[in-house]
Amino acid sequence: MPVESSSGSPGVSSAPDLRALVDSFERVVRRFPDLAFADPAGRLAIELGSAAVRCIRVELPGNTSLRLRSVLVEADGIDDPVAQLTRTASSALDPESANILEAGDLVRSDGAGVGVQTRKQDRPWLELSMDEPISLKRLTIVNVDDQSADAVRGLRVLVRSAAGWWETVYDGAQRERAFAGAVERHFRGGPLAAMPVRLLRRWVGQRAAEPTSPTSADLVRILTDIQLGDRGSAVKDLDRVDLDPESAATFRTLISDRIVKKRQQEWTVHGIQRSFRFWNEREKSDYLAFAMDVMSCLRQLNGNVCFGFGSVLAAVRDQELIPHDDDLDILIGFERDQAATLNQALRLMKKCLQDSGYVVTGPYTSFRWVFPPGRKGPKLDVFVGLFEGESISWYPGKRGALTRQMMFPPSRRPLLGFDCPVPREPEQYLEQVYGPDWGVPDPTFRHVWDRSTYADIAK
């Protein structure tokens, strides 16, 4: 997507009040350290008190895949309890996981990778069974270290006693309900009389009373949503809160620094994403190689292909992927005899890429998301534009503001070892798109998405 170039009163409107609200919220978070298991490489330690156990079962609700880095079993009087376990899972595993289970190596010696992975299915599970009961002291489960880590939300751990009874020793969904209830109680009589939020009704199962401070209530709801992994609506929800732009920016920064940074995420203009500042050099290089391959494929349609929007800022201004961005943007321009409308151009682009194995999705006016084959990797945004005489435009952007001579044929700029195509006159392009201050990074920059000016060609 395009990107840029003290404790107070119940109504939260200033930065000190926002910080106090987040400080207060974090005091509740610290009472539930086990919920950090849903973070990348999160650890869940369950103390069993030397219970006599014949079987351990780890399961997830819903239709998903169970992915764990490792499971560590500690038992009294047994040096290597893993060697005495029979390991079974709910579905066929990928070859690497199958080998790990067969070898009994549920604890990765290098501390990385995936130790257990099932196929995506309803209620996946893993069982560790013993011929004879063991005195189980502690069970430590380590989550995977990637952006799928929060898939473990709702995880349950059960043990079967020597007498054959099953007991739930950890219930992630119950702990999240307890957390939401603790937030409600913590803020009762302070910023909130109660938390009248969608999430609280979802987790606690009751309708809360009206708040004494609607603004604070909304902010606590957003904090709770994000803490429990429901970040999809955060941008729209914050836009509806009665905050001035500076305070809203402060709140986003507090969320980034205090809540989601440990998940390798930040709140950008695209929402809460894993921005480039958290990517390693190999990930960046692989992603750029993917983008170069996509552009090579698009040149089967025509030669009017180059990077656009924030990707040009990256190449020209920063010589690095913009830390607060999270994707790359590609432009392709069509002559009117090739595509008369944006929809026609989108169909041509989609067919070209799909025929080469790429996954193309999205319902948007002027662009599509493009994934590697099998969706195995991050996406690109590919925008289509139409020449209108000597001018061309890509939405969002002022129609007719760019010229053929400014854009094509592309010039080249180095970026992380790649010779990247950018507009023919990249500095002129950046001034038209981002204004005269394009050389100064602005993480809060937002494009104006005015579809009405493109109505006649957005068909």
Helix (H) or strand (E) holding 167, with range, is strand 166-171
Q: Which of the listed residues 225, 257, 273 is the one where a domain comes to its end?
A: 273
Arithmetic mean of pLDDT over the chain = 86
Strand partners, 150: none
Q: Which of the listed residues 241, 273, 305 is the one where a domain comes to its end?
A: 273
Do 180 and 129 share a domain, yes or no?
no
pTM score: 0.81
Residue 106 above 60 pLDDT? no
The predicted structure's pLDDT at residue 11: 40
Do 322 and 410 share a domain, yes or no?
yes
Do 269 and 309 share a domain, yes or no?
no
The CATH number given to whatever domain includes residue 393 is: 3.30.460.10
Strand partners, 79: none
Do 22 and 101 share a domain, yes or no?
no
The predicted structure's pLDDT at residue 201: 44
pLDDT level of residue 394 (50, 70, 90 thresholds) = very high
**What is the percent of the chain where pLDDT is above 70?**
84
For the chain, the domain total comes to: 3
Do 328 and 185 share a domain, yes or no?
no
Question: 330 is written with which tokens?
Answer: 């590609």
Q: Which of the listed residues 273, 302, 320 is the one where a domain comes to its end?
A: 273
pLDDT level of residue 360 (50, 70, 90 thresholds) = very high
By residue range, what is the domain housing residue 185? 15-32+175-273
Residue 429 above 80 pLDDT? yes
Residue 27 above 60 pLDDT? yes
Q: Is residue 209 part of a domain?
A: yes
Does residue 8 or residue 288 have the better pLDDT? Answer: 288
The string of pLDDT tens digits covering residues 210-247 is 334 568 888 999 999 999 998 888 888 898 888 898 89
Q: Is residue 412 part of a domain?
A: yes
The string of pLDDT tens digits covering residues 445-458 is 888 888 889 999 98
Across 60-188, the runs of DSSP E, i.e. the strands, are 63-64, 67-75, 85-89, 116-117, 121-122, 125-143, 156-161, 166-171
Do 102 and 219 share a domain, yes or no?
no
CA dihedral 9, 225, 239, 271 (to 10 degrees): 130
Among the residue ranges 111-115, 220-224, 297-301, the one predicted with the least confidence is: 111-115
Do 120 and 189 share a domain, yes or no?
no
**What is the percent of the chain where pLDDT is above 90?**
62
The count of other CB atoms within 10 Å of the CB of residue 92 is: 11
Q: How far is CA 276 from CA 273, 317, 416, in A?
A: 9, 16, 13
Do 319 and 405 share a domain, yes or no?
yes
The predicted structure's pLDDT at residue 96: 56
Token match 């993917």: residue? 290
